[in-house]
A and B are shown apart, each in its own frame.
Chain A
Amino acid sequence: MLQARHVSISFGGLKAVDDASLAVPAGSITSLIGPNGAGKSTLFGILSGFLEPDAGSVSFLGQEVTGLAPHRICRLGMTRTFQLAQPFAGQTVRENIAVGSHLHRAQRKAALAHAESIALRVGLSGRLDRPARDLTIAGRKRLELARALATEPKLLLLDEVLAGLNPQEVSEMSPVIRSIRDGGVTVLMIEHVMQAVMNLSEHTWVLNNGQLIAEGKPADVTRDPRVIEAYLGRGAAERLRTSGNEAHA
């Protein structure tokens, strides 16, 4: 459904994304993991049209979308959320979601009604008339998700919608994400909460220093020595193995 081929981008001297190729199959929940500063959000920026890559190409539903403006990509059916939730602060939750609903609905009434139904799906029904600025972090993450969902995307790019939530909130959000996929929306999610990655995604990609270093089933990937080293530092896999052996002995 989504394919990135050899995309690279640098900021000054820093190669934030370096020759990364990745694919997201339709109907899946795919995750993108990696340590802080690995370039995950930057890669999202490229996929969604906010950043133009220095090299490489992105195609969505068989169509070349490299360098296309974000709103054009959204209209093709790919919508993103932001790691730092960016609500329309002065507007109510309902009005926030309705902006997404308007993509396919010209009538104000229809958009507001649709926004309500979306709020129900993500658990924001009780806060429809609150100004978005009054929401907690968890509420803002839900709103971010709701707005994106309201555009009725085929592919949803979620940038850490679970970060900053407590364990209970995470366990409330996870079924929401699964139900979105079950509703026919493909999901690509950046996530640090490993438990959620394991639970939710069928396939995961690992980014480190701008490079994709591993992919596969989450359970397999987390055992990959390269991935362990990326997270814990050079030699960590070796140390873990030997300490594991000692424990066995």
Chain B
Amino acid sequence: MKTLYAILVLCGAVALLPAFVSSGVVLNLVIMTLYATLLGQAWNILAGFGGQYSFGHAAFFGTGAYASAALQVHFGVNAWLCLPFAIVCGAAVGALVGALSFRYGLRGSYFALVTLAFAEVFRILANSVKFTGGGVGLLVPLKSSALDFQFQGKAGFLYVILALTLAGFLLSWWLKHSRYGAWLTAVRDNEDSAAALGVDAFRVKLQAIVISAGLMAAGGAFYVQYFQYIDPHLAYGPAVSVEALLGPIVGGLGTVFGPLLGAAALKLLGELTRNLMGDAPGVSLMIYGAVLIAMVTFLPRGIGGLFQRLAAKAP
């Protein structure tokens, strides 16, 4: 219950932000942090709670992005209607990837490699098919109206991404307090034990990847509205997959607030290095890599785990 209140208070506070802050730079930073949180939440459901480490969440992100963009560009469908469609498409790809890999019992690095391969295949397909605009990508027609999921200022986008992150928070909270969540973490910790206790591991993992992929696809659809443009590399490239997994690992795997903590810490770090070293290409990636190594070595349970340890030590 405490966690639930914390989630609601936090989201309420962010919702009030546009009333006091008008700086586009600040609002953009908040939006991008929430956006990274959303991707992290999606990945965290499958990997943090379910123990299935995907290296190819871009497959779901890109599918959501292209599903939304293509419907708008080719058929003139309202962008709001494209959002649920994108989620369904992403979830369907998740079901496909999950059914194939979990049916054949792929775990650990094998599962990671298969997801990576799927994302790459999709990237190559998107590059060569007319429907996705090939390597040129798709430009979403400019409408600048809230009715079309495009907003004049940043505030509108902030509310949308906040709502999506709230959904991610509530999903994570539900995993901590439900039978399904108990089954999923049981499968993560020991699949044989879980099976002996009546848990259908295949089904549980499949459901997890569907939920995770759906949320990730929502992130893709949001991306398209915010930047009004998508191409194969942005959609299916490894950068998105890495962004999705970095936050939860840094913030705390399998926790409700881990993805937010991680996303915020990484955004802060990103801004700092940009201010210190300018926009030199590759620098941010090097920093991210170093942070990841440091985290895994010194804080295997992320920033959240550090807080917990400090709280436990405090009298």
Residue positions of A touching B, CB distance < 8 A: 48, 50, 69-71, 74-75, 79-82, 86-91, 95, 98-100, 102-103, 105-108, 111, 147-148, 150-151
Contact = CB atoms under 8 A, between A and B. Distances in A.
23 contacts: A48-B196, A50-B192, A69-B195, A70-B192, A71-B201, A74-B196, A79-B197, A79-B198, A82-B192, A82-B193, A86-B192, A87-B189, A88-B190, A89-B190, A99-B186, A100-B198, A102-B179, A102-B183, A103-B197, A108-B179, A147-B197, A148-B197, A150-B197
B199 interface: yes
B2 to A, nearest CB: 15
B182 A95 contact: yes
Contacts of A80: 196
Interface in B162-194: 177-179, 182-183, 185-186, 189-190, 192-194
Nearest to A157: B196
B256 to A, nearest CB: 15
B200 interface: yes
A82 B196 CA distance: 9
Given A108-B177, A151-B197, A151-B198, 13 more contacts: A50-B192, A69-B195, A74-B196, A74-B197, A74-B198, A79-B198, A80-B196, A86-B190, A87-B193, A99-B186, A100-B197, A102-B179, A108-B179
Interface residues of B, number: 19
B196 A98 contact: no
A171 B194 CA distance: 29
A70 B195 CA distance: 6
Nearest to A85: B193
A74 B186 CA distance: 15
B48 to A, nearest CB: 12
Contact of A102 (B182, B193, B196): B182
A106 B190 CA distance: 21
B193 A86 contact: yes
Contacts of B197: 71, 74, 79, 99-100, 103, 147-148, 150-151
A209 B267 CA distance: 62
A98 B192 contact: no
A108 B196 contact: no
Give chain B's interface secondary structure class.
helix
A211 to B, nearest CB: 26
A148 B201 CA distance: 17
Nearest to B193: A86
Contacts of A150: 197
Nearest to B202: A69
A75 B199 CA distance: 9
A176 B41 CA distance: 43
A23 to B, nearest CB: 22
A82 B194 CA distance: 12
Given A71-B199, A99-B186, A99-B199, A106 B193 contact: no
Contacts of B194: 99
A115 B287 CA distance: 46
Contacts of A98: 182
A144 to B, nearest CB: 8
Nearest to A48: B196
Contacts of A151: 197-198
A182 B282 CA distance: 68
A111 B197 CA distance: 13
B196 A89 contact: no
Residue among B183, B193, B196, B200 with the most chain A CB within 10 A? Answer: B196
Nearest to B203: A71
B249 to A, nearest CB: 16
Nearest to A153: B198
B189 A91 contact: yes
B310 to A, nearest CB: 18
Given A71-B201, A75-B198, A79-B197, A108 B192 contact: no
B196 A148 contact: yes
Contacts of B200: 69, 71
Contacts of A88: 185-186, 189-190, 193
Contacts of A74: 195-198
A147 B197 CA distance: 7
A99 B196 contact: no
Contact of A106 (B179, B195, B196, B198): B179
Contacts of A50: 192, 195-196
